[in-house]
Chains A and B, each alone.
Chain A
Amino acid sequence: EPEVTQTPSHQVTQMGQEVILRCVPISNHLYFYWYRQILGQKVEFLVSFYNNEISEKSEIFDDQFSVERPDGSNFTLKIRSTKLEDSAMYFCASRDTTIYEQYFGPGTRLTVT
């Protein structure tokens, strides 16, 4: 069964450093998403991406965040200068054009020290 994959599974970084989280969505999917979940809290939407551009972003997704689809398979989330409060699980998701169900990757646990 096709699945969304994410790397790394865990990233530890120092405050102020840049991090890039990587995702490989399901191959025939065209809509891509990033969500985050701070420990003990609900899953929150960050950004959606379609047709090589951001289609919607939340207020969390400020100028420190960016997304890119550098090639036909990868989808990345970059945080330019990490803060302590960026520590969370980051989930990538993708969906088909015809159905609304989104499938999630296993997540990257980001720890900012």
Chain B
Amino acid sequence: RKEVEQDPGPFNVPEGATVAFNCTYSNSASQSFFWYRQDCRKEPKLLMSVYSSGNEDGRFTAQLNRASQYISLLIRDSKLSDSATYLCVAAGGGNNRLAFGKGNQVVVIP
């Protein structure tokens, strides 16, 4: 079973719309969770950490449900510059190695 599972998409989103996607993780011992953004052939860039209480950063909202082992990301008022792949990440182990999902590819259309 994959450690982190995401539906890769693509998600074609009209500019200004809201898009939401989620992932599931299999390792119940995972301690920390993140969303990273990756542009084509670039490095993953940290978008936000995900907390049990839910957290918001501007147009981005992340939620964690430990009971269901489920993480979500919502993007409001999508911009063309939001087009990227969004990677769901769980950290575990003594030194917090990161387990990545395949990513949700988002294409914002004018």
Residues of A whose CB lies within 8 Å of any CB of B are 31, 33, 35, 41-45, 48, 50, 55-56, 58, 89, 91, 93, 95, 100-107, 109
Residues of A close to B98: CB separation below 8 A: 33, 35, 43, 45, 93, 102
Q: A31-B95, A48-B93, A106-B43 are in contact. List 12 more A-B contacts (CB 8 A).
A: A33-B97, A35-B98, A42-B101, A43-B44, A43-B100, A45-B97, A55-B94, A56-B97, A91-B44, A100-B91, A102-B96, A104-B45
Those of B13-42 within 8 Å (CB) of chain A: 31-32, 34, 41-42
Q: Which residue of B lies closest to A109 (CB)?
A: B41
Inter-chain CA distance A31–B49, complex, in Å, is: 18
- State whether A42 and B100 are in contact (beta carbons under 8 Å apart), knowing that A55-B94, A56-B93 are contacts in the complex: yes
Nearest CB on A from B27, distance (A): 13
What 1/0 flags go to B84-110 for Cβ under 8 Å of A? Answer: 000100010111111111110000000
A selection of 10 A-B contacts at a CB cut-off of 8 Å is A31-B96, A33-B98, A43-B87, A89-B41, A100-B96, A101-B34, A101-B49, A102-B91, A107-B42, A107-B43
CA distance A112 to B81 in the complex (A): 33
Q: Known interface pairs A100-B31, A100-B91, A101-B49. Does A95 touch B96 (Cβ–Cβ under 8 Å)?
A: yes
